[in-house]
Every structure is written in structure tokens, then in C-alpha cells.
Amino acid sequence: MGLLLKMKFHLQTQLQLLLLTFKLKSMETNPVISIRNLQKNFLNGKEVNHVLKGINLDIAPGQIIGYIGPNGAGKSTTVKILCGLIEDFEGDITVLGHDLRTESLAIKRRIGYIPENAAMYDMLTPLEYMSFAGALYGLPEERVMEKAGKLLELFEMKKHADQRMDTFSKGMKQKILLISGLIHNPDIIFLDEPLSGLDANSVMVVKEVLSQLAKDGKTIFFCSHIMDVVERISHRIVLINHGHVVADGTIEELRSGSSETLEKLFADLTGQGGQTVTAEAIVQAFGN
Ligand SMILES: Nc1ncnc2c1ncn2[C@@H]1O[C@H](COP(=O)(O)OP(=O)(O)OP(=O)(O)O)[C@@H](O)[C@H]1O
């Protein structure tokens, strides 16, 4: 090999290495979701309900984020805003490098949203529903059917593939919603109470699926009230209360050396520590 050729080869290799380092660095540092001063109010008659009062978050790719908070804290509202379903919010949000206000369609193509209670077309069968979902994303029918088949099998729903969904239980419908939300191979998956209504086996499958998806580089943002699941599968836990982020970190960071459970931390940080007293008061109220 001539000297010139050797030098060219050396330079090309160096350049490739440089590019790879740059790519890896930017993957490490560029958040897939960036939220700045997110605020959202709802009007209840004449009263203003300040639900989100300035949420700031940067979310790295490949992470599982457990988004928790008491009932009415604004978890679903945040998720709906991030998915482009609620458009009138204050603050700045970018998802996958796109501005949510101006490029929400580009975002919607690359995210999956699995709501807790979706209005499904339950006169359809799972396969028809997935074919419909796939068509909305412009996916080839054979690819959708192949993927649907595999996912239905995984969630033990294959035998129901051609059954109308109006006969399905809540958990069965939840599984179909989950599968449909994954059919277009999204980069970010938003799940609102994904485990609600699922039996113990399915909870295990969902937990495994979420962990596997994160290992494949997907980002998972999920709301749940099931603290031991949040504790076990989340890389990062964000707790909101009264419109603000009140805790944010890994479970170890949140515990900060103590052996307290997430349930206990949740109760302490949201001022909901008096469950025994509340339970007693409820029982007494029934007795009167
Ligand atoms: N479309 C709406 N119109 C008016 N108020 C709304 C609307 N959607 C949500 N809210 C209010 O916003 C607050 C936050 O609701 P949200 O559903 O986001 O809470 P959450 O944290 O998901 O609660 P949960 O854990 O009970 O599901 C609640 O007070 C709710 O009543």
C-alpha cells in the first residue's frame, strides 16, 4: 500500500472514530424530552385550577421514568401534553428534538401513547384494530400482522385475535392497547397506569417488556400508583405534588441511604402519612 493510501486510510479511521465519539457523546447529553417551566391551568366554572405550576425535566434516552404523585396531581395531564393531546399549555417542550408546539405531528409519528382508559373501537377484533392502528402510521400490512402476531402470543392473547373486543375484560383490552401502542416501534412510550386491570402474569410480562424496550434504547415514561413496581423498574422516579416536582432521582438517591420504601417516601413528601387515622375515620363514619 502506498504511503498516500495509508495516510488516507488512517485519516478515514480517525474521522470515523471522532464521529462515533461525537454521536455517543450527543446520545449521552441530548435529552429526548426537555420540559421548561410547564404550566397548565383548567377552568372549573369560574375557579382556576392550577394543576402544573412550573415543571422542569430533562429526560435521557433509554431510561424508564416512573412519574408518580397523588390523585389529581397532574400526571395524566403532563402525559397528554407531551403526547400533543392538550395543546394549550405554558412553557417550552421539545420531544426528540422537535418543538411540541410547532412540530407535534413529527413527534406523534415517533411516540406511543397507552392511556389507562381509551375509547377503543371494540366492535373490531384485535387484528382488525391493529391493522387500523398500523394503517394510521402508514405501515405495511404484512409487517403489522407479523408484529401483532408475536405480541399477541407474548401477552397470551393469540387465541382471541379474531374475537370482537366488546366481549373482552378490562385487562384484555389493556393488553390490546399496549400492543397497539408499540406496533409502530416508537422511540418514546408513554404509559398511563399500564398495569391497571392486568393479572399477575401480565404485570410480569409488561415489566419485562418495558425493561427490554429500555435496553433497546427506547425511553419509557409511565405513571403508576403501584409503588413497588415503580421502585423496581424505574431508572429515575419523578414525584409531583401541588404542581411542582418534589422529588427526582434514582430510588437509591430518593432513599438517600435510608431503607425507607418508596411508599413511605411518597406519603412523607405528599403529606399523606395519616392513612391509619383516615381509615379509622372512614370506618367510624360508616358505623354512625
Ligand atoms: N379536561 C379537564 N378539564 C378540567 N379539569 C381537568 C381536566 N383534565 C384534568 N383536570 C383536572 O386536573 C387535575 C389533574 O388531573 P390528572 O388527571 O392529570 O391527575 P392525575 O395525577 O393523573 O390523577 P390520578 O392519579 O387520579 O389519575 C385534576 O384536578 C383534574 O380534575
Residue whose CA is at the smallest distance from ligand 1 atom 13: 72
* Three-class DSSP category at 143: helix
Please indicate, yes or no, whether residues 46 and 106 belong to a single structural domain of this protein: yes
Query: Does residue 70 belong to any structural domain of this protein?
Result: yes
Same domain, 171 and 194: no
Residue 225's alpha-carbon distances to 111, 175, 203, 235, 266, in angstroms, are: 23, 18, 13, 16, 10
Identify the CA nearest to 95 among candidates 78, 111, 72. Answer: 111
Which of 184, 207, 222 is a domain's end point?
184
Nearest Cα residue to atom 17 of ligand 1: 76
35 shares its domain with 169: no
Total residues found in the chain within this entry = 288
The verdict on residue 213 lying in a domain is: yes
Q: Looking at the structure, do residues 59 and 176 belong to the same domain, yes or no?
A: no
- Looking at residue 23, its pLDDT comes to 52
Is the distance from the beta carbon of residue 243 to the nearest atom of ligand 1 less than 6 Å? Answer: no
- Cα(48) to centroid(ligand 1), Å: 13
Q: Does the CB atom of residue 115 touch ligand 1 within 6 A?
A: no
Any domain includes 3: no
Residue 65 Cβ inside 6 Å of ligand 1? The answer reads: no
> Can you give the pTM of this predicted structure?
0.83
| Pair 45, 98 in one domain | yes
Does residue 273's CB lie within 6 angstroms of at least one atom of ligand 1? no
Query: For ligand 1, atom 25, which residue shows the shortest CA distance?
Result: 71
Low-confidence ranges of the chain (pLDDT < 70): 1-3, 17-29, 118, 257-259, 272-288
Give the model's pLDDT for residue 257. Answer: 61
Mention every residue, 6+ apart, whose C-beta is less than 8 A from residue 283: none
Mutating to test ligand 1, I would choose from 43, 44, 75 the residue with most ligand atoms within 8 A of its C-beta, which is 75
Sheet holding 244-249, edge to edge: 111-114, 188-192, 219-223, 64-68, 236-241, 244-249
How much is the pLDDT for 104? 94
Whether residue 93 is contained in a domain is answered as yes
57 ligand 1 Cβ < 6 A: no
Are residue 192 and residue 179 in the same domain, yes or no? no
| Region of residue 105 (left: phi > 0; alpha: psi -120 to 50; beta: else) | alpha
Q: What is the pLDDT of residue 122?
A: 85
Q: How far is CA 28 from the centre of its chain?
A: 20
Q: Does ligand 1 lie within 6 Å of residue 88's CB atom?
A: no
**CA–CA distance, 199 with 244 (Å, rounded to integer):** 33
What distance in Å separates the CA atoms of residue 152 and residue 183, rounded to the nearest whole number?
11
Give how far the C-alpha of residue 112 lies from the chain's centroid of Cα atoms, to the nearest Å: 8
Cβ of 76 less than 6 Å from ligand 1: yes
Question: What is the rounded CA–CA span in Å between residue 87 and residue 51?
Answer: 15
Q: Whose CA is nearest to atom 9 of ligand 1?
A: 77
Q: Measure 182 CA to ligand 1 centroid, in angstroms.
A: 25
165 and 47 in a common domain: no
For residue 205, the CA-to-ligand 1 centroid distance in Å is 29
Q: What pLDDT does residue 137 have?
A: 87
Residue 164 lies inside a defined structural domain of this protein: yes
**Which protein residue's CA is at the shortest distance from atom 29 of ligand 1?**
72
* Residues 190 and 105 occupy one common structural domain: yes
In this predicted model, what pLDDT tens digit does every residue of 136-177 receive, in sequence order? 888 999 999 999 998 898 888 999 999 999 999 888 888 888
CATH classification at residue 54:
3.40.50.300
| Structural domain boundaries enclosing 74 | 31-110+186-250
Tell me which residue has its CA closest to atom 2 in ligand 1: 42
Task: Judge if the beta carbon of residue 75 lies within 6 A of ligand 1.
Answer: yes
- Judge if 228 and 240 occupy the same domain: yes
Domain count, the chain: 2
Residue 98: Cβ-neighbour burial (10 angstroms; 0-12, 13-18, 19+): middle
- Residue 180 has φ and ψ, to the nearest 5°, of -65, -35
* ipTM attached to this prediction: 0.98
In a domain, 101, yes or no: yes
For residues 85 and 48, membership in a common domain is answered with yes
Same domain, 95 and 220: yes
Residue ending a domain, among 166, 184, 202, is 184
Last residue of a domain, one of 184, 212, 230: 184
Asked if residue 74 has its Cβ within 6 Å of ligand 1, the reply is: yes
Domain-located, residue 263 = no
Instruction: Decide the pairing of beta strands 90-95 and 98-99.
Output: antiparallel
**Measured distance CA(185)–CA(176) in Å, rounded:** 15
274 falls within a domain = no
**Do residues 204 and 220 share a domain?**
yes
Place of cell 470515523: 16
Contact 69 CB / ligand 1 (< 6 Å):
yes
